[in-house]
Amino acid sequence: MPSSLDNWYHTIDLGDGQVSNGYWDHRTIVDCYGIPESLAGKTALDVGTADGFWAFELERRGADRVVAIDVDTHADFDWLPGRMPPNAADHRMKANFEIAHERFGSKVEHRTCNVYDLSPETVGTFDVVFCGSLLLHLMNPLKALVNIRSVVKEVAIIESLAEPGLDAIPDVPLLRFGHSDSETVPGEGGIYWRFGRRALEEMLIYAGFARVEIMPPFRMPPNDMEAIAIHGYPEPPAPPPPEPRPSLLKRIVGPRRRTRQGT
């Protein structure tokens, strides 16, 4: 009989020795995303939350309010015509999230919302927006970034699978299309892109972020694929503080000279 710990996306330690059998285990790479240690006093949004690992992490770091959004079923993914799995509409996304939510006594608010519908009107605005491993599944990742930009006040933390070879030509923003090397039918996995770091930087700038900061690449367990996280800031860096101006007297008579007597 399948257990309630089987068929999870995220490996989540639920306490009392119970750990979900997740496809991805992010527990050892949490610090590779550059999420601020403390989110006390902040609001946070997790886009494409799946079982909620990252939403619960944002809450654990002290965020005052966390909203987690996802689509309702697998049928809402960006499938190509004829590629949607037959039982996609039965695959509801929220059940595992709710198990973890109850175990943690969490206050994270789960909402059904497609990233293409994300806007200040639909969800409000947030200090921190997190979006992990979603862009590669989208037909229009740039539109998703534009929508994310519209709801961020301080920083967006975006992660995606990367492809180191794409950064071989310096300063050329390259994406790799498709995963046909590992598919029987092209597009069956609903995975469309791999990103070079320059491409991610450029896409965030096109999406309206004023500056970006890229984290060192890391490897995602269990299959060791390379990933990168990038931070997008809506505001330009603060200008350096002005040099203190010399007093009016100093400007007229010049700096005071020491005499032999030491005055």
Ligand X SMILES: C[S@@+](CC[C@H](N)C(=O)[O-])C[C@H]1O[C@@H](n2cnc3c(N)ncnc32)[C@H](O)[C@@H]1O
Instruction: Closer to ligand X by CB, 27 or 211: give it.
Output: 27
Q: Does residue 141 belong to the site contacting ligand X (CB under 6 A)?
A: no
Among 68, 93, 100, 152, which residue interacts with ligand X (rule: CB under 6 A)? Answer: 93
43-47 and 65-70 strand pairing: parallel
Q: Does residue 42 belong to the site contacting ligand X (CB under 6 A)?
A: no
Instruction: Closer to ligand X by CB, 134 or 199: give it.
Output: 134
- Is the Cβ–Cβ distance between 68 and 49 less than 8 Å? yes
Among 77, 79, 218, 233, which residue interacts with ligand X (rule: CB under 6 A)? Answer: 77
Q: Which residue stretch of 15-23, 83-91, 113-121, 175-183 sits at the interface with ligand X (rule: CB under 6 A)?
A: 113-121
Q: Which residue stretch of 56-64, 80-88, 127-135, 254-262 sits at the interface with ligand X (rule: CB under 6 A)?
A: 127-135
**DSSP of the chain:** ---TTSSEEE--EEETTEE--EEE--TTTGGGG---S--BT-EEEEES-TT-HHHHHHHHTTBSEEEEEE-SBGGGS-PPTT-S-TTGGG-BSSHHHHHHHHHHT--PEEEE--GGG-SHHHH--EEEEEEES-GGG-S-HHHHHHHHHHTEEEEEEEEEEB-GGGGSSTT---EEE--GGG-SSTTTT---EEE-HHHHHHHHHHTT-SEEEEPPPEEETTTTEEEEEEEEESSPPPPPPPPPPPPHHHHHH-SPPP-TT--
- Give dist(CA 263, CA 261) in Å, integer: 6
Q: Which residue stretch of 60-68, 79-87, 131-139, 216-224 sits at the interface with ligand X (rule: CB under 6 A)?
A: 131-139
Instruction: Closer to ligand X by CB, 16 or 87: give it.
Output: 87
Residues 152-181 that bind ligand X (CB under 6 A): none
CB-nearest residue to ligand X: 132
Q: How far is the CB of 9 from ligand X (least distance, A)?
A: 6
Among 96, 114, 147, 150, which residue interacts with ligand X (rule: CB under 6 A)? Answer: 114
Q: How far is the CB of 171 from ligand X (least distance, A)?
A: 28
Provide the phi-psi class of 16: left if phi over 0, else alpha when psi is between -120 and 50, else beta.
Answer: left
Q: How far is the CB of 113 from ligand X (least distance, A)?
A: 7
Instruction: Closer to ligand X by CB, 12 or 212: give it.
Output: 12
Instruction: Closer to ligand X by CB, 89 or 168: give it.
Output: 89
Q: Does residue 137 belong to the site contacting ligand X (CB under 6 A)?
A: yes
- Please tell me the count of residues contacting ligand X according to CB under 6 A: 15
Task: List interacting residues with ligand X (CB under 6 A).
Answer: 48, 50, 53-54, 70-71, 77, 93, 114-116, 132-134, 137
